[in-house]
Amino acid sequence: MPKHTVDQLETISTQIREDIIRMLEHAGSGHSAGPLGLADIFTALYYEILKHDPKNPDWDERDILLLSNGHCVPVRYATMANVGYFPRKELMTLRKLGSRLQGHPERTRLPGMETTSGPLGCGLSQACGMSLAMRMDQTKKRWIYVVMGDGELDEGNVWEAAMLAGKEKLGNIIGIIDRNNIQIDGPTEHVMPLGDLKAKWEAFGWHVIEINGNDIEAVIDAAAMGRAVVDKPVMIIAYTIPGKGVDFMEYDFHWHGAPPNHEQAKAALHELRTLGGKIRSEHE
């Protein structure tokens, strides 16, 4: 049973986007486009999909969420704060000296952060190791979700892991590719064409589901469909809009690795609070 209505979840994802803008403005550096594009997926994960307990991050029956593209961690921090892992005011410490919220995530600093990441291509293989360990122990079924970027698929390590998961039929792994078509140097299809991703993952022995990654309901449904496939790993190719929710950031690869300045943040927050001008902001 869903715990929230779609309207409630969309309100939460907007709140997460606002937090991302405020965090990045305050930090003065960081990535904007990816985290904004992933807000709906992270809302779906933490509010509906994952079995987890913010008050007991080490719960041994929890599902595991690996963020392989560590540069998108602002969306994870914002979602974790909103769902109760730590106070929202701590979000403003992002990238500051002594903060638990490092520029790229570090497991040993923040409870609930399942692994340290940033250098790309390492999440899926850690998921393979976790899944293999669970199989050796024959533990109760736990799901391992791995969020990856599409530019990240340039890394050879990803495909090494893809082969192993396919060979070993690691059926409790569900990958989610943030297919937003941009990376630092430009559109993915110019930098390094990824081509027919569905066919590629299927060729490696994966079950593939393609969805609109900015449709929260579609994300929840895809995860449920993914859990029904137990004899293969599952890859959800989630087409997202980079910079989603802030019109001057959407689809623009220049926002991949840049934060908003004060004026841009103000404009972005206004747009998010008014749902693109559809409603009045209570803050203004």
Partner 1 sequence: MSNLHLADITGDLEQEPIRKGFGRGLLKAGQLDVNVVAACADLTDSTQMSLFKAEFPERFVEIGVAEQNLVTVGAGLAAMGKIPFVSSYAAFSPGRNWEQIRTTICLNERAVKVVGSHAGVSVGPDGATHQMLEDIALMRVLPHMVVIVPGDSLEAERATLAMAKDGRPNYLRLAREATPIITTDKTPFEIGKAYVYEKGSDVTIITTGTMTYQALVAAEQLYKDGIEAEVIHCPTIKPLDAETILKSVKKTGCVVTAEEGQVIGGLGGAIAELLAENFPAHLKRIGMLDHFGESGEPNELLEHFGLDAKHIRLAAHEVTAKKKSE
Which residues sit at the interface with partner 1, rule CB under 8 A? 106-108, 114-119, 121-122, 125-134, 136-137, 156-157, 160-161, 163-164, 168
Nearest 10 degrees: Cα torsion 92, 34, 243, 7 = -80
Minimum distance, C-beta of residue 132 to partner 1, in the bound complex (Å): 6
Using alpha carbons only, give the angle 61, 63, 65 rounded to the nearest 5 degrees.
145
Which is nearer to partner 1, 60 or 282 (by Cβ)?
60
Closest CA relative to residue 80, chosen from 68, 69, 94: 94
275: left (phi over 0), alpha (psi -120 to 50) or beta: left
Shortest spacing between CB 123 and partner 1, in angstroms: 9
* Angle in degrees, CA 38, 274, 71, rounded to 5: 20
Taking the least distance from each CB to partner 1, the nearer of 129 and 187 is 129
Indicate the residue among 133 and 230 with the shorter CB distance to partner 1: 133
Residue 98 has which token pair? 């002594």
Alpha helices in the chain (DSSP H): 6-27, 33-44, 73-83, 123-137, 156-168, 188-191, 197-203, 216-228, 262-273
Distance of alpha carbon 272 from alpha carbon 266, whole angstroms: 10
Smallest distance, Å, CB 1 to partner 1? 30
Residue 86 CB, shortest distance to partner 1, in Å, is: 20
CB of 182 to partner 1, least distance (A): 24
Give the residue among 151, 148, 154 at the shortest CA–CA distance from 187: 151
Q: Which is nearer to partner 1, 9 or 127 (CB)?
A: 127
Tokens, residue 244: 């989603």
Taking the least distance from each CB to partner 1, the nearer of 114 and 271 is: 114
| Distance of closest approach, residue 51 Cβ to partner 1, in angstroms | 16
| Closer by beta carbon to partner 1, 90 or else 160 | 160
